């Protein structure tokens, strides 16, 4: 039978340190027999947050340990044997389920995302001039939210249309499975005839995957010819994704290409107010200002802070005030948050004389792969980012990051040179932290 402690131990490796401390540690995890595992959360905020942010990682770990079904419960509701969420499977939806709250209504629009929002909305409305869209941004700025909002809108408003929502990795896996099981014709048919709107996330994943790229290019031709709508998302514009065949690159660039930028101060304030309202709370101006000036990038982090704040307040029976907000922000991003991944990468590039593009490229040359492994190791150590998030920065998957961390640990314990390099780089980063101050909260308002 799966053991709760073992699940927690494994989750430590796939969730950032602060995320683990804040969200996973307080859970009670119980095996239920027949492979079911029950996660008991102290309150509903927490249950919702964990479901939306960590469900995939939890599922994977539970499966690795031989479990199957997950059941999330809120402690007070435990006796009622209430299941908190059910799989969302609207008819006409092929692929992944859509997150309930990723709708246009829930999306806060500001200068940084207005253009992307309008483009998505026009496409969802069926505007004949807006059929192909490519959205790109850094992590946590709303690509999935906007593409799923299109899905919700179409599924609700356009009863005769079918939506297909998946990631480029899903597309690849399904294709490989179809080849293995001799069902490639059915696979092709599914996309070519079975969907009116294709939303394909994380297309940068296709880098170097020639066979999948060719198949996707053909699928797109069918869809474009039939005047179907297609939305792509990625962390980079098509021209910057390495190892993409020109035939696919030109199809990815066939429509409107638009970026989402990090929200400005006013938009962050609006986002904080909206997210708090969603949790049926009104925050003081002081707390809102503090959060909006401390958390300037990834909106996922803003959400984490709000949910963390409310959870903490309810567990400690403490008012939601500035002190508590400081504590939560510190825990979430750490005093070291100013040492961003970007700065670490810059330092590594300078030290090893490689470029950022080389670190992100598929190159396996030792002169590139070793600095890349070092950068991954340092990002994990100093930013506490998840293995997935670190992998994404270098166009790699989570397993590659695990391998990099193990390699650097092993080499630094055996080889003086690696140990010296690691110590030197760590010292440089520590110095950067010193410069940014112990309180670490950037008091900027853009
Ligand atoms: N403008 C916004 N208004 C409200 N919520 C937002 C907005 N932008 C992003 N969010 C929220 O931030 C979180 C992260 O957004 P999302 O997953 O869409 O980012 P992403 O760009 O797809 O990130 P990644 O590249 O890591 O997959 C989500 O919970 C989403 O609801």
Q: Which of 56, 103, 138, 300 has the most ligand 1 atoms within 8 A of CB, as the residue to mutate?
A: 300
Q: Is the pLDDT of residue 78 over 80?
A: no
- Nearest residue (CA) to ligand 1, atom 5: 107
Q: Beginning with the edge strand found earlier in the chain, give each strand of the sheet holding 163-167 in spatial order.
A: 93-95, 163-167, 197-201, 229-234, 132-136, 256-259
Task: In whole angstroms, give the CA distance from residue 203 to residue 106.
Answer: 25
Residue where the block lists tokens 């980012």: 385
- The alpha-helical segments, DSSP class H, found in 195-298 are 210-225, 246-252, 265-278, 285-294
Residue-wise burial string across 347-364, b where 16 or more C-beta atoms lie within 10 A, e elsewhere: bbbeebebeeebbbbeee
Q: How much distance in Å is there from the Cα of 145 to the middle of ligand 1?
A: 5
Both structure tokens of 176: 């490989």
Q: Residues enclosing ligand 1, CB less than 6 A? A: 102, 106-108, 113, 137, 139-145, 235, 271, 299-300, 303
Q: Is the pLDDT of residue 221 over 80?
A: yes
Segments of the chain assigned to CATH 1.10.1750.10: 341-435
Name the architecture of domain 93-259: 3-Layer(aba) Sandwich (3.40)
ipTM exceeds 0.95, yes or no: yes
> How many helices and strands, by DSSP H and E, does the chain display?
19, 9
418-436 pLDDT per residue, tens: 998 998 898 887 766 554 4
Fold of 265-333: Helicase, Ruva Protein; domain 3 (1.10.8)
114-150 pLDDT per residue, tens: 999 999 999 999 999 999 999 999 989 999 999 999 9
289-316 pLDDT per residue, tens: 989 888 877 899 899 899 889 988 888 8
- Nearest residue (CA) to ligand 1, atom 8: 142
Segments of the chain assigned to CATH 3.40.50.300: 93-259
Share of the chain above pLDDT 70, in %: 89
User: In which band, very low, low, confident or very high, does the pLDDT at 103 lie, cut at 50, 70 and 90?
Assistant: very high
Name the least confident of 78-92, 127-141, 397-411: 78-92
Segments of the chain assigned to CATH 3.30.300.180: 4-80
Task: In whole angstroms, give the CA distance from residue 381 to residue 404.
Answer: 12
Task: In whole angstroms, give the CA distance from residue 363 to residue 182.
Answer: 33
Task: In whole angstroms, give the CA distance from residue 134 to residue 253.
Answer: 7
Segments of the chain assigned to CATH 1.10.8.60: 265-333
Name the architecture of domain 4-80: 2-Layer Sandwich (3.30)
Both structure tokens of 405: 């961390």
Write down the pLDDT at residue 87: 35
151: left (phi over 0), alpha (psi -120 to 50) or beta: alpha
Q: How much distance in Å is there from the Cα of 237 to the middle of ligand 1?
A: 18
CATH dotted code for 341-435:
1.10.1750.10
């Amino acid at each position: 039978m799966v053991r709760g402690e073992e699940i927690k131990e494994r989750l430590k490796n796939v969730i950032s340190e602060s995320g683990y401390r804040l969200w996973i540690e307080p859970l009670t995890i119980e095996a239920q027999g027949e492979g079911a595992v029950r996660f008991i959360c102290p309150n509903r905020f927490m249950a919702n947050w964990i479901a939306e942010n960590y469900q995939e990682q939890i599922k994977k770990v539970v499966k690795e340990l031989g479990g199957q079904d997950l059941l999330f419960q809120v402690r007070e509701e435990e006796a009622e044997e209430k299941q908190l969420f059910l799989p969302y499977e609207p008819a006409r939806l092929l692929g992944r389920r859509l997150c309930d709250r990723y709708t246009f209504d829930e999306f806060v629009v500001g200068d940084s995302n207005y253009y992307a929002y309008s483009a998505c909305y026009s496409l969802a409305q069926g505007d004949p001039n807006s059929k192909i869209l490519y959205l790109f941004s850094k992590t946590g700025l709303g690509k999935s939210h906007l593409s799923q909002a299109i899905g919700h809108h179409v599924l609700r408003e356009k009863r005769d249309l079918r939506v297909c929502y998946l990631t480029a990795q899903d597309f690849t896996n399904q294709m490989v499975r179809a080849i293995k099981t001799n069902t490639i014709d059915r696979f092709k048919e599914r996309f070519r005839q079975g969907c009116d709107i294709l939303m394909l996330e994380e297309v940068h994943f296709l880098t170097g995957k020639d066979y999948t790229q060719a198949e996707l290019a053909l699928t797109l031709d069918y869809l474009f010819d039939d005047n179907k709508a297609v939305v792509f998302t990625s962390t980079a514009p098509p021209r910057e994704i390495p190892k993409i065949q020109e035939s696919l690159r030109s199809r990815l660039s066939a429509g409107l290409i638009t970026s989402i930028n990090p929200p400005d101060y006013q938009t962050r304030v609006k986002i904080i107010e909206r997210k708090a309202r969603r949790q049926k709370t009104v925050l003081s101006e002081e707390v809102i200002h503090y959060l909006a000036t401390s958390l300037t990038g990834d909106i996922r982090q803003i959400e984490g802070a709000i949910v963390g704040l409310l959870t903490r307040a309810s567990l400690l029976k403490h008012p939601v005030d500035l002190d508590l907000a400081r504590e939560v922000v510190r825990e979430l991003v750490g005093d070291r948050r100013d040492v961003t991944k970007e700065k670490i990468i810059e330092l590594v590039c300078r030290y090893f004389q490689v470029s950022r593009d080389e670190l992100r490229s598929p190159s396996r040359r030792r002169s590139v792969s070793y600095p890349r492994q070092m950068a991954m190791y340092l990002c994990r150590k100093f930013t506490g980012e998840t293995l997935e998030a670190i992998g994404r920065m270098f166009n790699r998957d989570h397993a590659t990051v695990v391998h990099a961390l193990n390699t650097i640990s092993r080499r630094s314990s055996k080889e003086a040179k690696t140990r010296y390099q690691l110590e030197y780089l760590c010292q440089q980063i520590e110095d950067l932290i010193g410069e940014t101050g112990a309180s670490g909260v950037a008091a900027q308002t853009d």
